[in-house]
Each structure stands twice: as structure tokens, then as C-alpha cells.
Chain A
């Protein structure tokens, strides 16, 4: 009777989960999202894949509609306690996310930043580290530079830190905490 948006279906979520794994394994490489939501922001595709009722989400820039929260069935939290934080990349961060603890570094936040465009733009990054053979270049449009400055502070005490997922309307890429980012 009901026709659900494909992003909520297990098949699409498995495809997108594979995409996120690839993005995390190959930092800075852009991957095209195969299925976009019929309604609502593109970030829903990633959130629908990653979240369930066991994790906490913060949306300090109110990127989600109230209907999206019902569909995600995720609990809301303040940004300092959230497991996942979605933000508008063009706005500078004014918080410190969870960085994990030494016994449990995995209990840190994953930041999902919505930017204007990946693969083009004024922010030019050179990436090195695990998952990158030599160096990787990444251009981003619509990312406040303070995100990268703050990220340096957040990931300086490895294994503590945060993992970043960046997405525009069509593509995603990731910057895990192990990636060294140099701004050109």
C-alpha cells in the first residue's frame, strides 16, 4: 500500500553503506550517490544509512525537517554529546564534538558537513595518510576554513579525534582522523 522513498529501503542503504566504506578507505576521493531522496535534503541519504535508534544525532544548523526526524527514528542530543553531527559547512564551528577516550576512541563523533560542491571550489586540500598511495587533491566549495583548523586540534591526539564526511547534493567524500590535511 505504501510507497517508501528508496533511500529508506535496505537495498539502497546497503549500496550507500558500501559507498561510505569506500569513502572512508580512500580519503578525499569523491563518490557519486546513486539514489537521491525524493523529498528533503540529500544528507538524508547518508543519515538513513548510518543512523538508528541506538545513536544520538545533533543538527545545530537545523538542516533537517521535523518529518525527517520521525523517519530517522534517531534521538536528538546536544552537539557535544552526539554520535553524529550534521552541519552546514559554510558556517564556522562553535562547538567541540565528542573526541572519544583512550580506552574507547570509537566513542567519538562523526561530523557530516554539507558543502556547496565537491571537486570544485576555492578550498584546495592536499591529503596524505592511510588509504592514499601518494597524495590526493580535493577541491571544496562552500567550506569554512575554520572547520579544517578546528579539525587539526580535534585529531592531534590520535587515536582520539573525529571523522568527517563531506557531501554536496550528488557526491560524498570522507576525511578520517588518520588523514593529514594540508591547505594550499
Chain B
């Protein structure tokens, strides 16, 4: 897959987390996923269509999803409830919007639908395309940046 399809997601993740959550995210090493399963435990999925077609999935581990909800709204959440699911859906929507804006700068127009959220580990997903799925891990510090308190968000996508 062309590198020009990766950069819009990197920019989108960095802008959205910084503006909405005040979080600086650092990108880890991109990987190709061999299986069509969710990378984390709470995953927002959005189909994209237009000049290209594909799917983007934004996946949080449980701790990261609860931290993001707390940072966004100010309330603590003991479990992954409807509020956390809703927050992950909205973050997915906003990251997708920012990425589509970046794609538009490259002359690629994409439309999106309402995101869907899956809760569970290694849940099977359909990525529409037959091309490999690229997984971008983004790391961020929680609890005032203690070295052992890093969380990860995965942005997995495939386009053709």
C-alpha cells in the first residue's frame, strides 16, 4: 500500500488527541496484520467510500478507553459501559473526518458512514478490501506519564 494512505491517519490521530484530550501521541512501528480481528478491546469501525473504498478501525485497550472517556467528560468509569462505547464511536468519527480532510488535500475524496463500535478481544471484522491491513500503534502516557503507565491505540485500515 502507498505511504500516502498512511500519513492522513497519522496527522488525524495526532491532531484529534492533542486538541480534544490534550494528549501527545507517539507513533510506534507500523505493521501488517495477518488476521481480520480487532487489535484492542473497544473498537470503533468506519467504512469509507468514494474515490477509494476501505475500512478504518480505531481500537483501544480497556484501560485506554476508560482513560480517554475520563479525560473527555471528566467522569470515572469502572467498566466499559454505553458511555465509553459512545465516546469511542465519536473519537472514531472525528479521526475519520480529519483523515478524510487530509485525503482531500491529496485529491482523494472519501465519504463516511455512522461508526459502529465493537467491544471484545480479537473479534472478527470485515475490512471490505482484499489488500493487507496496516496497523499503526500510537502510544500515550496516562497518570502523569509514569514510565510504566503507557497506553496504546491502534489505527488499523485497508484501502483499495
- To the question of whether A and B form a pair in one complex, the answer is no
